Amino acid sequence: MKSLFKAFAVLTVLLLGYGFCQAMFIAPREATMGDVQRIFYYHLPSAWVAFLLFFVNFLASVWYLIRRSTGADALALASAEVGVSFCTIVLLTGPIWARPIWGIWWTWDARLTSTLVLWLIYVSYLVLRHYATGGQIPVLASTLGIFGFIDVPIVYMAIRWFRTQHPQPVIGGGEGSGLAPAMWVAVLWNLAAFAMLALMFVWVRYRQAIEEHALEEAHAQASLEAEEAQ
Amino acid sequence: MTSAPSLWAITRRSLVKDLRLEWRSKDAINSMLFFALLVVVIFSFGFDPTAEESRKIAGGLLWVAILFATVVALNQTWMRELRNQVLDAYRLSPAPPQALFLAKTLGNFMFVSILEVLMVPLFVVFYNLRSVGPVWQLLVVALLATWALVVNGTFFAALSIRTRSREIMLPLILFPISIPALLAMVDATTSILTGDNPATFWIRLLAVYDLVFTTVGLILFEPVLNAE
């Protein structure tokens, strides 16, 4: 298991390096935006990975409520934490890209706003996990995970309608319309690299959570036995 | 053998108990009312709008004030049941947990509705409001919006009493999930007051939100109540 993880980690680092070369040197320079557009190769993969992880969190939460398995809870925790990290990357790289292109750091556009709300929902999930006590954490967290995920389409609908009613302060977004094939290559390499990086983090956090749980159980068992011995 | 009381009968009895408790103590209503009044007064110091402007911002101010006041009432919902281990008694009883959840939600719905009935005239006076659009739609918006706030609020209040620092926990988990509902109620109210846009989309969205989260709440309340 350990050597497999090491091999996986090495592969991830290599892939990240290759993805970096693709994004910075091989992909063509964008005609109007220039080199700033290269942040896109980090922005989009992070977003997709984050959304995927939130979906994993939802599935793990449902699975936990059905089966009450420690593994499902550990997976829910790991995917939410790593998902929030990647979502943070999206929210940080977005403004850095927007500033030179749109002239502003932030706009309350549908995609930006939905991503921000998504981030808020999963941060609140992590806050709940942090403040809940003892054995109740998994149940409380998994119900909130389900509520949060179900909220996502409603958030998206609301914000899209909200935006169409209000004037758009800036010109339309950058990507979307027709990406050059050479750019797609860089996107896909980076997507693969980021997906592997996320998987690696989730793996580590999952193992940690499982072991933390085992340690707690052992402590509880030990104190029970100590009480019995008295 | 007597047959078990129906879900509705248990809900009604639990609701009557909550209303009687509230009638005698007036804890939730009083603190909520005074809090909302403070928010309204402070808002009116913060903004000094003309009649035209106030139509545009009143929807937002009113619902934000109600949201904050609702949290005050919601925090007390389950606190009562913690004293004397009433919640543990519920857990042991064969009564369906959904009945308890429904009763609490209905109770909060009534408290917040009373708050709104008292607050809206105050808003009209303080902000010189006169609606341009169809006023009867505001009633529909108010009913759906209040339900949206209390159904999730009651559920999350049950989550947050299980945590350390209970009082602060509720808004932290309630507000992010409520963002689409808040957006809908504010924009619906503004659309009606200014008469610029039809509010139909927002009313439909609130109805969907209510339906979805009432269902999810009813399904997921049982594990939350029994969480150890």
Q: Which residue of B has its CA nearest to A153?
A: B180
Q: Determine the distance in angstroms separating the CA of A203 from the nearest CA of chain B, rounded to an integer.
A: 27
Compute the distance between CA of residue A129 and CA of residue A125 in angstroms, rounded to an integer.
Answer: 6
Report ipTM (2 d.p.).
0.87
Amino acid at A138: P
Give the pLDDT score at B181: 94
Residues of A in contact with B165 (CB under 8 A): 131
Nearest Cα residue to A12 out of A205, A208, A207, A201: A201
Helix (H, G, I), strand (E, B) or coil at B198: coil
Q: What is the pLDDT of residues B150-199, one digit of tens each?
A: 999 999 999 988 888 778 899 999 999 999 999 999 999 988 888 887 88
Give the pLDDT score at A178: 60
- Cβ–Cβ below 8 Å for B184 and A148: no
Using CB atoms, pick whichever of A125, A131, A151 lies closest to residue B165.
A131
Nearest Cα residue to A57 out of A7, A132, A124: A124
- Cβ–Cβ below 8 Å for A117 and B179: yes
Q: Determine the distance in angstroms separating the CA of B51 from the nearest CA of chain A, rounded to an integer.
A: 21
Give the pLDDT score at A54: 95
Nearest Cα residue to B72 out of B29, B105, B40: B29
Give the pLDDT score at A159: 84
> What residues are paired with B163 via a beta bridge?
A132
Q: What is the pLDDT of residues A109-168, one digit of tens each?
A: 778 888 899 999 999 999 999 888 777 889 999 999 999 999 988 988 888 887 766 555
**Cβ atoms within 10 A of the Cβ of B168, count?**
13
Is the pTM higher than 0.90? no
Q: Which position has the token pair 């934490």?
A: A81
> What residues are paired with A30 via a beta bridge?
A34
Q: What is the pLDDT of residues B14-45, one digit of tens each?
A: 899 889 988 998 888 888 889 888 888 888 78
For residue B8 the two structure tokens come to: 């509705």
Compute the distance between CA of residue B13 and CA of residue B107 in angstroms, rounded to an integer.
Answer: 11
Using CB atoms, pick whichever of B163, B175, B202 lies closest to residue A128.
B163
Partner A, chain B 109-168, Cβ-Cβ below 8 Å:
152, 155-156, 159, 162-165
Residues of chain A with pLDDT under 50: 169-176
Mutate to test the interface with A, among B88, B179, B185, B190 (most CBs of A within 10 A): B179
Least confident interval from A75-79, A152-156, B103-107, B220-224: A152-156
Compute the distance between CA of residue B85 and CA of residue B93 in angstroms, rounded to an integer.
Answer: 13
